[in-house]
């Protein structure tokens, strides 16, 4: 099973489309390919080129899990470039698109099961929050390069420890 870990944003979907096409050409019809990308990556042209390629070739064994948390290094994604409506863009490129709560494991599992039967590539737009699970964080806290003051860090550790003990 091939894997591809990329450092540059946008390359993962191109690799995944290549893997999915290679599986088809080599007769591995039961193989599935997954790519994990973020909404910040949707500002990279390479992502949309790969999406067009996968849609054109109807790579139905390809599924993208898109972490749509509106967070990137430079700030909120929507303050840098408008990427909504995400689902409509993927649909326009020949994909099936499902918009769901990315913190709901049952919803993600159900969407993955449904995706296994699709004839077109699928994108699961998983709406998430970088603050999810930590009620002690202030509303403007962001998971990218966050540096917590000592008191808040202790509160976060205590909250996570209590959650793990449940």
The yes-or-no verdict on residue 137 having pLDDT over 70 is yes
Say what angle helices 11-25 and 45-56 make with each other, to 10 degrees: 20
Mind listing the domains of the chain with CATH numbers? 11-128 (3.40.50.970), 134-166 (no CATH)
pLDDT at 144: 66
What is the C-alpha to C-alpha distance for residues 31 and 46, in angstroms, rounded to an integer? Answer: 24
pLDDT at 7: 66
The yes-or-no verdict on residue 164 having pLDDT over 80 is yes
Query: Using a CB cutoff of 8 Å and minimum separation of 24, what contacts does 152-159 make?
Result: 159/133, 159/134, 159/135
What is the C-alpha to C-alpha distance for residues 140 and 110, in angstroms, rounded to an integer? Answer: 32
CB atoms within 10 A of CB 4: 13
- Model pTM? 0.88
User: Does residue 51 sit in helix, strand or coil?
Assistant: helix
Question: What confidence category does residue 97 fall into, taking pLDDT thresholds of 50, 70 and 90?
Answer: very high
pLDDT at 128: 94
Q: Residues of 120-154 as b/e, b for ≥16 C-beta within 10 angstroms?
A: bbbbbbbbbbebeebebbeeeebeeeeebeeebee
Question: What confidence category does residue 117 fall into, taking pLDDT thresholds of 50, 70 and 90?
Answer: very high
Burial of 83 (0-12, 13-18, 19+ CB in 10 A): middle
pLDDT at 153: 86
pLDDT at 96: 98
């Amino acid at each position: 099973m091939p894997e591809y870990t990329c450092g540059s944003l946008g390359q993962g979907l191109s690799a995944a489309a290549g893997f999915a096409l290679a599986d088809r050409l080599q007769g591995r019809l039961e193989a599935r390919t997954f790519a994990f990308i973020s909404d910040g990556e949707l500002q990279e042209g390479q992502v949309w080129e790969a999406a067009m390629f996968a849609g054109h070739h109807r790579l139905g064994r390809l599924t993208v899990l898109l972490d749509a948390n509106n967070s990137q290094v430079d700030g909120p994604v929507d303050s840098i470039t408008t990427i909504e409506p995400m689902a409509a863009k993927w649909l326009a490129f020949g994909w099936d698109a499902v918009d769901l709560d990315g913190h709901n494991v049952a919803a993600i599992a159900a969407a993955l099961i449904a995706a296994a039967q699709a004839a077109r590539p699928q994108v699961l737009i998983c709406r998430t929050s970088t603050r999810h699970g930590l009620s002690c964080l202030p509303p403007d806290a962001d998971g990218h390069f966050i540096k917590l003051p000592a008191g808040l860090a202790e509160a976060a550790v205590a909250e996570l420890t209590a959650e793990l003990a449940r």
